[in-house]
Amino acid sequence: MKKILPLGILVSGSGSNLQSIIDHIESGKLDAVIRVVISNSPEAYARERCRRHNIPFVVINHGDFPLRDAFDQQMIDVLQSRGVELVIMAGFMRILTARFLSSFPLRIMNIHPALLPAFPGLHVQRKAVEYGVRFSGCTVHFADDGVDSGPIIIQAVVPVYEDDDEDSLAQRILKEEHKIYPQAIQWYVEGRLEVKGRKVYLREAEVSMNTPQHNPSLTIR
């Protein structure tokens, strides 16, 4: 029988990545079930998405917990009580404690809107535009005890144009986030991801036909 992976998803805001995961599950492209969505903010629009799709939504407000360990323990309890096997950080704006990481070893994924290890942290689309890079993108990786530093599963590259601002670049990147996150999770479901140190190996990967890209385009051919 096909494995259906129980997911727990952590959010803080809009939840467009959550929506993409929901859509991939509903269209049969992702063999998973969302057991619970946890938000650290009661205002998150993700709440509305969960309501529409009948998905359990739990608010654990970090402001109610003076100690980070207690906040994380509350999340661990909710996730474990619902049998979650893989934790998905989808726009979750809190840093996880060692306690949380050790409760789900190599079973936490994060998505970051830059080509790591460039531009970890916050406001990274703005930083990419200000720096003048010609390409940026997004990264899905396993979480570790650093900030946006764990083993990388998949990345997507997007061009950065001279008239881009933070928002236009964020939109271009977000479209790719919505493709690579469900893909990374599906590979996990299929048992195709093997982590050795910093590197993640994809079993039975298709030979990459990707070609080098240039931005701006070369004019000498």
Catalytic residue ranges: 112
Taking CB under 6 A as the criterion, the residue among 21, 55, 86, 90 binding ligand GRF is 90
DSSP conformation class of 97: P
Q: Which stretch binds ligand GRF (CB under 6 A): 15-23, 54-62, 80-88, 193-201?
A: 15-23
Distance (Å, whole) CA 4 – CA 73: 26
Cα separation, 168 vs 165, in Å, equals 6
171's tokens? 């939109």
Residues 93-152 that bind ligand GRF (CB under 6 A): 111-113
- 166-189 and 16-26 helices, crossing angle to 10°: 40
Query: Is the backbone of residue 83 left (phi > 0), alpha (psi -120 to 50) or beta?
Result: left
Q: What angle do CA 124, 42, 78 make, to 5 degrees?
A: 95
Among 6, 13, 120, 159, binds ligand GRF (CB under 6 A): 13
By the rule CB under 6 A, 15 interacts with ligand GRF: yes
Number of residue whose CB is nearest ligand GRF: 91
Closest CB to ligand GRF among residues 14, 155 = 14
Element containing residue 36 per DSSP (H, E): strand 32-39
- Within 158-187, the residues that bind ligand GRF by CB under 6 A are 174, 177
Instruction: Write down the least CB distance from residue 100 to ligand GRF, Å.
Output: 17
User: What residues line the site for ligand GRF (CB under 6 A)?
Assistant: 13-17, 90-91, 111-113, 174, 177
